[in-house]
Amino acid sequence: MEKILDRFLRYVAVDTQSNEESESQPSAEKELNLLRLLRDELLALGVEATLDEWGYVMASIPSNLDKEVPAIGFIAHVDTAPDASGADIKPQIIPDYDGSDIHLKGVPGLVLKTAEFPELLDHKGETLVTTDGTTLLGADDKAGVAEIMDAVQYLVAHPEFKHGPIKIGFTPDEEIGRGVVKFDVQKFGADYAYTMDGGDAGELEFENFNAAAASVVIQGSNVHPGYAKGKMRNALHIAQEFDALLPVAQRPEYTQDYEGFFHLISLKGTVEQASFSYIIRDHDRAKFEHKKQVIAQCADFINARYGAGTATVTVRDQYYNMRAQVEPHYHVVEKAVKAMEMAGVKPRIQPIRGGTDGANLSFRGLPCPNIFAGGLNFHGKFEWVTVENMEKAAAVIRNIISLYAE
């Protein structure tokens, strides 16, 4: 029986960063390295498992009951976010954490401070796993992957444990909004499912952002700066002007709970041309649609001021709020609440300020709320997870399986 920490460390050692500029699926060939590994580990455990051409690992454990119960799925994504490197990760392991600030040893002066991240103090006495400050950690979502695999290992090692049909799914490209674009729900075969992709212990989510990506191109006009008066249109300055048209109070750093935002995620260019990208988020569908209209109105303003064709905007929807799809099957939430209580975890039902594969799956007929995986500060160098959180998440998976078996 491999310990969950050892399993997690093996998985984060594999670089699986997805590539938002790629059109292939998976978006990065290196994602397949972990997906193949997971398929082979499942097969070695005696579990039927496949890896298809799109990078989806699907596995099935048959029921050992003498009655019919729903087939329950558990899903996690293998890719890490493009926001920070996922290569050559050097985790710091801190047993019996004492509540002090944590120096990330790969970058002198970089410190995980309890004053900035007070959630650390809730985990005194636990075993923390942090980054060394040079990369992200990959707990999003390799903690979820490790927890699911830990539960599979338990089921295989304990044939006396009663369960119905269990379905396992591992996906690529969740971090770039394409995690289940080609996922075959019918082939997966679950009646209900859970993504193990949330944050701290107790998080349970069945509503998420509506999400879109917006790309903006500014076409400028470059002439020699010594003779530029009345002729030059500096695309970089116009890009700044475009961004200034958006409401400052609706940036991520000023929003919380159900408040949506415009998030500028990249900007590059020259005097001649600049391109930049936003992600647009809101839980309320009407406000979400209005935000997309605001982006278009910004382009209209720029074009009216500097000439037609100066600003070109392309908006692409990514996923929608799954609440309306899950609520008619609210028992999936209730089962998760009870499973957490059985594991000694206090449930906290809250909206996801993000998205999961479960959002798109819920719209395709597979109700799929999201359960904590145990990590915090995702997508950056301050990411961390505790072993105890991962162990609790694995226990919740087993408890859900047990509850459905009843």
**Domain end residue (candidates: 285, 319, 353):** 319
Same domain, 251 and 278: yes
Which residues lie below 8 Å from residue 296, measured CB to CB, with a gap of 6+?
313, 315
Q: Which position among 15, 31, 79, 191 bears the catalytic label?
A: 79
Same domain, 50 and 153: yes
**Domain end residue (candidates: 295, 319, 343):** 319
Q: What is the pLDDT of residue 352?
A: 87
Strand 192-198 vs strand 370-372: parallel, antiparallel, or unpaired? parallel
The alpha carbon dihedral of 236, 241, 243, 249 has a sign of: positive
Enter the pTM of the model. 0.88
Question: Is 174 an annotated catalytic residue?
Answer: yes
Among residues 272, 278, 279, 280, the alpha carbon closest in space to that of 237 is found at 272
Indicate left, alpha or beta for 10 from its phi (over 0: left) and psi (-120 to 50: alpha). alpha
Dist. CA 75–CA 397, nearest whole Å:
11
Q: What is the pLDDT of residue 356?
A: 80
Cis peptide before 347 (omega within 30 of 0): no
CATH number at residue 297: 3.30.70.360
* The total number of structural domains that make up the chain: 2
Same domain, 133 and 267: no
Same domain, 39 and 77: yes
Same domain, 227 and 182: no
Same domain, 328 and 203: yes
What spatial distance separates the first Cα and last Cα of the chain, rounded to whole Å?
26
Same domain, 231 and 284: yes
CATH number at residue 55: 3.40.630.10
H or E element, residue 237: helix 235-244
Same domain, 265 and 294: yes
Same domain, 251 and 314: yes
Chain centroid to Cα 371, Å, comes to 12
Same domain, 149 and 291: no
Q: What is the pLDDT of residue 37?
A: 98
Dist. CA 337–CA 347, nearest whole Å:
6
**Domain end residue (candidates: 263, 288, 319):** 319
Contact 170, 145 (CB under 8 A): yes
Q: What is the pLDDT of residue 1?
A: 85
Q: Which position among 132, 173, 174, 282 bears the catalytic label?
A: 174
Q: What's at 7, amino acid-wise? A: R
Dist. CA 39–CA 59, nearest whole Å:
8
Beta-bridge partner residues of 278: 214, 264
pLDDT in tens, the chain (406 residues): 899 999 999 999 999 999 989 999 999 999 999 999 999 999 999 999 999 999 999 999 999 999 999 999 999 999 999 999 999 999 999 999 999 999 999 999 999 999 999 999 999 999 999 999 999 999 999 999 999 999 999 999 999 999 999 999 999 999 988 899 999 999 999 999 999 999 999 999 999 999 999 999 999 999 999 999 999 999 999 999 999 999 999 999 999 999 999 999 999 999 999 999 999 999 999 999 999 999 999 999 999 999 999 999 999 998 899 999 999 999 999 999 999 999 999 999 999 888 789 999 999 999 999 999 999 999 999 999 999 999 999 999 999 999 999 9
Domain limits at 383? 4-208+321-405
Same domain, 304 and 328: no
Same domain, 194 and 342: yes
Residue 377 CB neighbours (<10 A): 22
Concatenating the DSSP letter of every residue in 201-257 gives TTEEES---EEEEEEEEEE-B---GGG-TTT-B-HHHHHHHHHHTS-GGGSGGG--T
H or E element, residue 301: helix 285-306
